[in-house]
Amino acid sequence: MLVKRIIPCLDVKEGRVVKGINFLNLKDAGDPAESARIYSEEGADEIVFLDITASFEKRKTMIDVVRRTARNVFIPLTVGGGIRKLSDIRELLNAGADKVSINTAAVENPSFVKEASRKFGTQCIVVAIDAKKTGKKKWEVYTYGGRKSTGIDAIRWAKTVEKLGAGEILLTSMDKDGTKNGYDIELTKAISTLVKIPVIASGGAGKISHIYDVFKKGKADAALAASIFHYGIYSIKKVKEYLQKKGIPVRN
Amino acid sequence: MSKLIAIIDYRAGNIKSVENALKICGAKPIIATKPLHLKNSAGIILPGVGAFKDGMKNLEKRKLIKEIKSQIFKGKPFLGICLGFQLLFSYSEEHGRVKGLDILKGGVKKFKVNLKIPHMGWNTVKLKMTNEKLKMPMFDGISDNAFFYFVHSYYAKPSEKNVVAGMTNYGINFCSAISKQNIWGVQFHPEKSGKNGLKILRNFIKKCL
């Protein structure tokens, strides 16, 4: 049986983890490669790196991070942030990433998703959607790390990216992100039941029960979380034990 | 005999992870783009993701098909992964009907299930032989119903039932691993399946030495 995935996300800035993880056995909490390795050993099903480096020149550091990570981590690795060209994707894949996550570039140039999935295969193209609630069962797509509104309806956009050849959707609720109040169940369910590709829910995880809810009620295929793992509030193992007990199938 | 394991590079996705995984398992991977590379290796891995048609086309372009077949028939250990596993079969129903390597009889079909496609994530493999004495060398040290990482929209349906080494359920039961003498094939990605996956690669390396 295909199981639900638990995916820790690491924000990386100029080659360093922004919110360092709080593990005793971690030599360098700032090294994304080292953190990814620990998460993998802990039972993470995949790893996501989000590059939040502002300056274009320093983006190259991510390639080195990916290369070092891929030498020791043997679960899927997704990299997102600032990907605009086919050559960006190629560089990351050649360094050892398995998937790339595209957000702003997809909105500004939808044919980029099409070209990318045709060139590299749908399985490695994840489209990230940052959505903000605007009304009853209505959400709007934001770009540039949540700074720019687009006027695009998130539900419709999800359907569009599926048609363009996205292999997966990474759906972040901007209203919930950082609140630790739980995922946006309504948003996740609306999109996950609409599209035929897997949906990774993101934004709002603060307790184990939130992850349970986003699977059970939100119908997510995978749950992404950052701070609850980084601060060592819950280990991935604990989360999985809890889910298993509550009848959500996970990899043990 | 050399310990070199050839990873066939035919522009079908990411070979870096297979290379990294082989290295950590103690093998010496070489990226094979020419028939000669296959001749000089102790074992061959055909990895790959993407479209069946393009895969065959690129193998043809690099003039690798004849050498792959010749090496397999000579008995060299061979491991097909994901698309590289599917390419072993006679044909695929992707884009109508495309001819495959035809090393194994049977076809590759699209999932027609009311579930999300691609079949992406971790799923279990039910071993055909669970008795330790009869267990296939591929699954040496791996328990029944162990988890592996999958990502695919098509599945292989072998005509010879005795080559099936493992089955997986995704709406239907499909063949996720085959083993026929020197030929191994897996639908999942051992290079992305954590400890279980690395164990399969180690078993393959052992077979090559």
> Which residues in B lie closer than 8 A to residue A45 (C-beta atoms)?
121-122
The whole-number pLDDT of residue A25 equals 57
pLDDT digits (tens, 9 = 90+) for B77-132: 999 999 999 999 999 998 789 999 999 999 999 999 999 999 999 999 999 987 77
Q: What is residue A236's three-state secondary structure?
A: helix
Q: Which of B82, B94, B152, B208 is catalytic?
A: B82
Distance from CA of B123 to the nearest CA of A (A): 4
Gap between the Cα atoms of B120 and B200, Å rounded: 20
Gap between the Cα atoms of B205 and A39, Å rounded: 27
Q: For A149, list phi and psi in degrees, rounded to 5.
A: -80, 150
Mean pLDDT, range A226-245, rounded to an integer: 89
Q: How confident is the model at residue B1 (pLDDT cuts 50, 70, 90)?
A: very low
Gap between the Cα atoms of B78 and B101, Å rounded: 13
Interface list for B 77-106 with A (CB within 8 A): none
Mean pLDDT, range A135-159, rounded to an integer: 96
Q: What is residue A191's three-state secondary structure?
A: helix
As a whole number, the mean pLDDT across chain B is: 94
Gap between the Cα atoms of B85 and B185, Å rounded: 5
Q: Are A150 and A198 in contact (CB under 8 A)?
A: no
Does the CB of B40 have a partner CB in chain A at under 8 Å? no
> Which residues in B lie closer than 8 A to residue A221 (C-beta atoms)?
116, 120-121
Q: Kindly determine whether residue A121 and residue B192, on different chains, have CB atoms separated by under 8 Å.
A: no
Q: What is residue A154's three-state secondary structure?
A: helix
Q: Among positive and negative, which fits the CA dihedral A238, A176, A124, B89?
A: positive
Catalytic residue flag (residue B82) = yes
Give Cα separations from A53 to A60, A83, A177, A220, B132 (angstroms): 10, 12, 19, 29, 52
Question: Taking the domains of chain B in order of start, what are their residue ranges?
Answer: 4-207
Gap between the Cα atoms of A41 and B177, Å rounded: 25
**CA nearest to A77 within chain B:** B192
Does the CB of B31 have a partner CB in chain A at under 8 Å? no
Q: Among positive and negative, which fits the CA dihedral A225, A230, A233, A235?
A: positive
pLDDT digits (tens, 9 = 90+) for A193-208: 999 999 999 999 999 9
Mean pLDDT, range B11-38, rounded to an integer: 92
The whole-number pLDDT of residue B168 equals 98
CATH number attached to the domain at B4-207: 3.40.50.880
Residues 6 or more apart in contact with residue B57 via CB below 8 angstroms: none
Mean pLDDT, range B32-55, rounded to an integer: 93
pLDDT digits (tens, 9 = 90+) for A84-125: 999 999 999 999 999 999 999 999 999 999 999 988 889 999
> Which residues in B lie closer than 8 A to residue A2 (C-beta atoms)?
115, 119, 121-123, 150, 170
The whole-number pLDDT of residue B135 equals 77
Q: Are B21 and B190 in contact (CB under 8 A)?
A: yes
A146 HSE (CA, 13 A, CB side)? 14
Which strand (E) or helix (H) includes residue B61?
A: helix B52-61
Nearest CB to A251 within list B14, B147, B191: B147
Does the CB of B118 have a partner CB in chain A at under 8 Å? yes
Q: Are B174 and B156 in contact (CB under 8 A)?
A: yes
ipTM: 0.93
Does the CB of B26 have a partner CB in chain A at under 8 Å? no
* Tokens found for residue A74: 């043997």
Does the CB of A70 have a partner CB in chain B at under 8 Å? yes
pLDDT digits (tens, 9 = 90+) for B171-204: 999 999 999 999 999 999 999 999 999 999 999 9
Which residue out of B120, B149, B152 would a mutagenesis test of the A interface target, given it has the greatest number of A Cβ atoms within 10 Å? B120
The whole-number pLDDT of residue A60 equals 84
Q: Which of B94, B152, B189, B208 is catalytic?
A: B189
Distance from CA of B122 to the nearest CA of A (A): 6
The whole-number pLDDT of residue A21 equals 54
pLDDT digits (tens, 9 = 90+) for A182-192: 999 999 999 99
